[in-house]
């Protein structure tokens, strides 16, 4: 089968790989659509020691079951997406329903081959059947959309006022930022502004989401003016911007992981009584809720999503790296899915 393999920093290439073998407790999928994530780009740049050269990246996908270790549980021909976090099911976090924090988790596209390939093996327990009305391209966005949903729902628990009354600033107009903006709008948030440096993405956000945008390089967000600030970048500069922008009593949701550490203004955090939250991925319940939300149009028509053939994946990585892609998400379509 064909697979897009991370071979060295700033390089991925299409290679022939062995088909996955069906093992107990798993199913083999034909990958119908698979998205390029920001964490894939992080690995592409050689900045993720957990993802080493020789790895097939990719963890956002939709596919069709071609073989199953238990056809009663997951019949051949079933269209699915799946949780790329493979959890143990018995640690304290799993038993609490917080399986995203599983003490023993592994991950597709990190500790085992990913979805930038024509076929992929996954545990049966990870599979989530898809409604027939949801396209594979849109279903491949379940993983990033669930990340946004998990973060927004956590934010709402901490906010004093309901979403329609909240002024929201999102730092970063990548896929997570755009999906969070779309979800907040569907929840009734009337004022959402996205700060994004790429002019192509700012135009896409304005056209597709109807949100206000600004270029933070030339226009700093108003200070102490935002009830909710979502940092979908996670750099030192954006962390500082988030703290400056949040109004007293506000909430800062930190999603991005561009920089691993930095100092923050703890005095502002304390005196303004801010709530600073971190979030990691999603639970299985979030993923199931996201499939329903995607199918129901909660994230909009997703017209900003670009598609390319898997064979053109290397160029897609180069274009994303060079800021040449207006859409915040590129979904790759393997040839096997189009036969």
Predicted confidence (pLDDT) per residue in 215-237, tens digit: 999 999 999 999 999 999 999 99
Q: What integer pLDDT is reported at residue 336 of this predicted model?
A: 64
- The pLDDT tens digits for 155-184 are 999 999 999 999 999 999 999 999 999 999
Per-residue CA distances from 281 to 62, 84, 152, 260 (Å): 18, 10, 12, 17
Q: What integer pLDDT is reported at residue 337 of this predicted model?
A: 63
Q: What percent of the chain has pLDDT over 70?
A: 99
Q: What is the mean pLDDT of residues 305-313?
A: 97
Q: What is the mean pLDDT of residues 195-211?
A: 94
In the chain, the domains with their CATH numbers are 2-141+305-338 (3.90.180.10), 146-278 (3.40.50.720)
Q: What integer pLDDT is reported at residue 338 of this predicted model?
A: 57
- The pLDDT tens digits for 132-152 are 999 999 999 999 999 999 999
Q: What percent of the chain has pLDDT over 90?
A: 91
- The pLDDT tens digits for 285-300 are 999 999 999 999 999 9
Query: Is residue 250 a contact partner of residue 221, using CB atoms and an 8 Å limit?
Result: no
């Amino acid at each position: 089968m064909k697979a897009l393999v991370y071979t060295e920093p700033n390089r991925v290439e299409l290679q022939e790989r062995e088909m996955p073998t069906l093992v107990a407790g798993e199913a083999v999928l034909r990958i119908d659509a698979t998205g390029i994530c920001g964490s894939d780009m992080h690995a592409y740049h050689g900045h993720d020691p957990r993802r080493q050269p020789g790895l097939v990246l990719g963890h956002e996908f939709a596919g069709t079951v071609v073989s199953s270790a238990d056809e009663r549980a997951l019949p051949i021909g079933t269209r699915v997406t799946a949780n790329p976090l493979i959890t143990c099911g018995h640690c304290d976090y799993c038993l609490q329903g917080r399986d995203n924090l599983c003490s023993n988790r592994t991950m597709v596209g990190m500790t085992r081959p990913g979805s930038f390939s024509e076929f992929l093996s996954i545990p049966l327990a990870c599979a989530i059947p898809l409604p027939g009305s949801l396209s594979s391209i849109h279903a491949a966005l379940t993983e990033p959309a669930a990340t946004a949903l998990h973060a927004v729902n956590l934010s709402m628990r901490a906010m004093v006022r309901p979403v329609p009354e909240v002024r929201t600033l999102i730092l970063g107009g990548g896929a997570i930022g755009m999906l969070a903006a779309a979800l907040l709008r569907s929840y009734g948030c009337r004022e959402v502004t996205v700060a994004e440096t790429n002019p192509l993405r700012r135009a896409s956000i304005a056209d597709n989401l109807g949100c206000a945008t600004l270029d933070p390089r030339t226009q700093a967000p108003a200070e102490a003016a935002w009830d909710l600030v979502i940092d979908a970048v996670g750099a030192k500069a954006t962390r500082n911007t988030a703290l400056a922008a949040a109004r007293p009593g506000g909430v800062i949701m930190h999603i991005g992981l561009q920089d691993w550490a930095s100092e923050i203004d703890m005095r502002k955090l304390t005196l303004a009584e801010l709530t600073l939250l971190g979030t990691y991925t999603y639970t299985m319940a979030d993923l199931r809720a996201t499939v329903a939300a995607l199918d129901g149009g909660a994230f909009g028509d997703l017209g900003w999503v670009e598609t390319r053939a898997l064979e053109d994946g290397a160029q897609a990585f180069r274009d994303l790296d060079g800021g040449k892609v207006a859409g915040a998400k590129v979904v790759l379509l393997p040839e096997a899915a189009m036969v």
